Structure 1
Amino acid sequence: MVGRSGDRQGTAGEAPAGRHAAVHSRRVRVALAVWAALIASSFAGGAILRARGALPIDRLAPLHADLRLLTVTLLPAAAFGAVAVLALPPLVARTRFGWALLVSYGFALAWAVLLAVSADGLAAPLTHPADYLAVLPSVGDDPLGWLASFTERLPGYPTHVRGHPPLAVLLLWALAAAGLRGPTWAALLVVTAGCSATVAIAVTVRRLAGETVARRSLPYLALTPAAVWIATSMDALFAGVGAWGVALLVLGRAWIGFGAGVLLGALPYLSYGLMPYLLIPVVAGVVVRVPRATVLAALAGAASVTAAFAAGGFLWPAGALATYAEWAPDPGAARPYLYFLVADLGVLAMVTGPATAAGLVRLAPDGVRAVVAAAGVAVLALDVSGVTRGEVERIWLPYTVWIGLAAGMSSGRRWLAAQVVTGLLLQALVLSPW
């Protein structure tokens, strides 16, 4: 009788679990269907609009890119991806957390670099005449003089310089002044900083939700499909700066709070589109209850950045207005608003991968859910504003790495393999100028 009663209890206990699994499975299937439909409709809509002449500068809308087909040259990246899917999860699960971070960083670097060298190489995007390096001769030996006249001389600068504040150029100038000149050194700076977001976000997640969740997230952070644009877009550098600003803040120590503030305060001077990013550290700080002394130190660090630029003759509002004046007559401003309102989200779906779509419907820890939501709200604000209308495969990289954190809520190597395959397909089929 006892055995029979136990059997009945076991059956009763298994039924809710089975129903829960079935509900979750349906949610994942719906999420993947929405993910695929969003991407497909974005490309279909882009093809129709281009045929009608409404998208002259986006030949592979919604991406600012061309179609191509890589084959043999992609084999090293494909082989590495296959090894990484098998090897990285157990490595990050079994080693000390510090070693897990280091190993994941190494995998992230290798993944991004191998994807890049399968085509034109790591440094090729930075050699474009519209990119930041092209303006360094104008800086010369007088960076302070260049900064003071930046807004006034903005119309004469290359496209990317006209669309951004001056800090990125000053960083590249400092790199060259240190003897590390040319696109190769600049590319190494961008990729190493961009891939380091893997480590910074994992450090943050450890504070938000514990070490187990951080370890679980590491393989997905390292093998993100966004690596296609982490190597090599300057926005990857911005992603690294922002991620480390959040990580230093949530560590909660007053003596590093100032450094967190400097990094976070630098973001608006790297890209005007990073103002909404500041929602992420605010949410993360609230979740972990950052001490008041650390908050004050961070505010002081951010204020010091603003003060330094003001003393150098660059006022952020004036720069933003000048950039808007340059952007308004640009072909990018004529892109159809309603199409990109939806299609930019299709690009976001692509670069975060199917595992992110699946992970978004899982019950993630509150802290992880909070920062992913903060990044999502920031992206939606940019999307609705119409300021980032196209080219978000690179522009949204600082946000993409946080939204992609949801992929870590998926389970099993098949989802990690799906991320790798997505990255390989993007690299194989998309010829991007960055």
Structure 2
Amino acid sequence: MLIALSFAVGGLLHHLGILRIDHLPPLHAHFRVPTFRLLPAAVFGLAAAWMLPGALARLRFGRAIALGYGTALAWTVLLAVSGDGLAAPFTHKEEYLAVLPAVGDDPSGWLAGFTEHLPGYPTHVRGHPPLPVLVVWALQALGLPGPLWAALLVVLVGCSAAVAITLTVRRLGGEDAARRALPYLALTPASVWIATSMDAFFAGVGAWGVALLVLGRKRWSRLLSGAGAGVLLGSLPYLSYGLVPYLLIPVVVAVMVRPSRLTVAAILAGAGSVTAAFAAGGFFWPDGVLATHAQWAADPGAARPYLYFLFANIAVLALVTGPAATAGLVGPIPARVRTVVAATLVAVAALDVSGVTRGEVERIWVPFAVWVSVAGGFAGGRAGGHAGDRRWLAAQVVTGLLLQGLVASPW
């Protein structure tokens, strides 16, 4: 009902000229007619929905994770190539690669002048901190230039969020819960935007940052994992300003697993090293926030109606996570796993209420959507069995196919 109402009201607002930059509100997209090119993704997705529950239940856990990751990659890539192609979004003039000529061979000099020169940069660069540009610059410096390599990095890292979250769920709720969540992470409708928006890279970085909090059994491995978690989680605010509420997820996980004081110190040291590195390079995060907010306030997106998107953004989250995730929210989720999903929803609500995410959230929600997708594993209840999973997974796949086939998105 919320989704239908959001599209109905959005269509009316577009007709009245109130929503001029969104042609298929609440999505920032155009309507398109699906073609036969979607057929391979449809065949693969429905076959995976049928076979995955049984296969993941039988395999050893390590092999199950490998199968889940492989499925996520295949599903994501097949969706992308059915449309404009895997690399197409990164060829847009408003994307991060467009600013690489300005970076040149002097990334430190570019970083120091980032805030000052922000008004002259492409839209996505103006709306984010400098780290995404430095990531694609590093790819170029390694001899992997161009949109295709950037797209491959994003998809590989974005799909790996399924692995990281599965490992976290196993620590918090047990192996059975992890096995139940894995197919829903692999076949999430969010895969439509995992290929290919930079937010998928953010999702992978954040998911592994959380996973490293719960990995490591011996003292030194826990310290190394903690330091790694600190670096990854400390990088999130430098990847996207909108990921600050995301940090509620690792805080909640840390409270539940209770790392030692030394591990906490390693986490804080890792996060602090990121902040120190950017400060040494001449970029101060509060200055970046203020500069980006000024650019956002002058953008047409800031004029979108707040009240409409307050509710419509949640409808988009329901689309991105799929019907199984919504149904699973009231399912028998283990208590600690439920707490993490609830923390994710609180983070989403905080970002939504802030008003800075008025539309275009189909990509912005991706780092959060992968955590909400965990709930899909519990949509059929404990007695649902493989047959119940197959039905719910098929619903997830059909949702993804409809989004890919009917929605022409700029990312």
1:342 maps to 2:311: yes
AA aligned to 1:229 is W
Corresponding residue number in structure 1 for 2:354:
385
Q: Choose which of 218, 221, 241 in structure 1 pairs with 2:182.
A: 218
What are the Cα deviations for residues 52-82 of structure 1, in whole angstroms up to 9, with x where unaligned? 1100000000000000011211000000012
1:204-233 Cα distance to aligned partner (Å, 9 max, x none): 000100011001110000000000000000
Counterpart for residue 20 of structure 1: none
Deviation at 1:293, TM superposition (A): 1.8
Report the counterpart of residue 269 of structure 1 in structure 2.
Answer: 238
| CA positional deviation for 1:291 | 2.2
1:143 equivalent in structure 2 = 107
Cα distance in structure 1, aligned partners of 2:206 and 2:292: 22
Query: Within the alignment, does 1:424 sit opposite 2:401 as a pair?
Result: yes
Q: 1:167 aligns with which of 131, 136, 141?
A: 131
- Structure 1, unpaired ranges of 5+: 1-36
Q: Does residue 272 of structure 2 align to residue 303 of structure 1? A: yes
Query: Which amino acid is the alignment partner of residue 325 of structure 2?
Result: T
Shift in Å, 1:87? 1.6
Any residues of structure 2 matched to 1:30-429 within 5 Å, and which? 37-251=1-215, 253-411=222-380, 412=388, 413-429=390-406
Alignment correspondent of 1:21: none
Q: Which moved more, 1:66-75 or 1:232-241?
A: 66-75
Quick one: distance in 2 between partners of 1:407 and 1:294? 32
Q: How far apart are 1:308 and its partner, in Å? A: 0.3
Per-residue deviation, 1:250: 1.6
What's the secondary structure of 1:196's corresponding residue? helix
Deviation at 1:266, TM superposition (A): 0.1
TM-fit CA distance, 1:429? 0.4
1:373-402 C-alpha deviation (Å, 9 max, x unpaired): 111000000100101111100011111111
Q: In structure 1, give the amino acid aligned to 2:313.
A: D
The letter for the 1-side match of 2:197 is S
Q: Secondary structure at the residue paired with 1:70?
A: coil
Deviations 1:100-147 (A, max 9, x none): 111100000000000000011000001000000000000000000000
Equivalent pairs counted in the alignment come to 398
1:247 aligned partner, one-letter code? A
SS in 1 for 2:332: coil
Give the Å deviation of 1:88.
1.3
Cα distance in 2, alignment partners of residues 229 and 191 from structure 1: 10
Distance 1:254 1:309 in 2: 23
Q: Say which SS state the counterpart of residue 192 (structure 1) adopts.
A: helix
Task: Give the letter aligned to residue 242 of structure 2.
Answer: G
CA distance in 2: counterparts of 1:254 and 1:163, whole angstroms: 34
TM-score (norm 2): 0.96
Matched, 1:433 2:410: yes
Q: Deviation at 1:329?
A: 1.0
Deviation of residue 294 (structure 1)?
Answer: 1.4
CA distance in 2, matches of 1:145, 1:196: 33
Give me the whole-angstrom Cα distance separating, in 1, the residues matched to 2:147 and 2:309: 32
Instruction: Please state whether the residue corresponding to 1:121 is helix, strand or coil.
Output: coil
Q: Compare 189-198 and 404-413 and name the one that shifted more.
A: 404-413
Taking every aligned residue pair, what percent have the same amino acid on both sides? Answer: 72
Cα distance per residue 1:1-25 (max 9 Å; x no partner): xxxxxxxxxxxxxxxxxxxxxxxxx
The structural deviation recorded for 1:290 is 2.1
Q: TM-score, normalised by structure 1?
A: 0.91
Q: Matched residues in 1 for 2:107 and 2:292: separation? A: 20
Letter in 1 for 2:235: A
Specify every segment of 5 or more residues in structure 2 that has no aligned partner in the other structure, as ranges: 217-221, 381-387
Following TM superposition, the consecutive aligned residue runs of length 4 or more in structure 1 with deviations greater than 4 angstroms are: none
Aligned-partner Cα distance in 1 for 2:225–2:45: 36
Residue deviations 1:149-198 (CA, integer Å, cap 9, x gap): 00000000000000000000001000000000000000000000000000
CA RMSD of aligned residues (A): 0.7
Q: Map Cα deviations across residues 334-374 of structure 1 (whole Å, 9 max, x no partner).
A: 00000000000000011111101110111311111011011
Q: Deviations over 1:294-319 (max 9, x none)?
A: 11111110000000000000000000
Quick check: which has more Rg, 1 or 2?
1
Amino acid at match of 1:290: P
Cα deviation for residue 408 of structure 1 reads: 1.1
- Displacement of 1:91 in angstroms is 1.7
| Distance in structure 2 (CA, Å) of the matches to 1:432 and 1:387 | 20
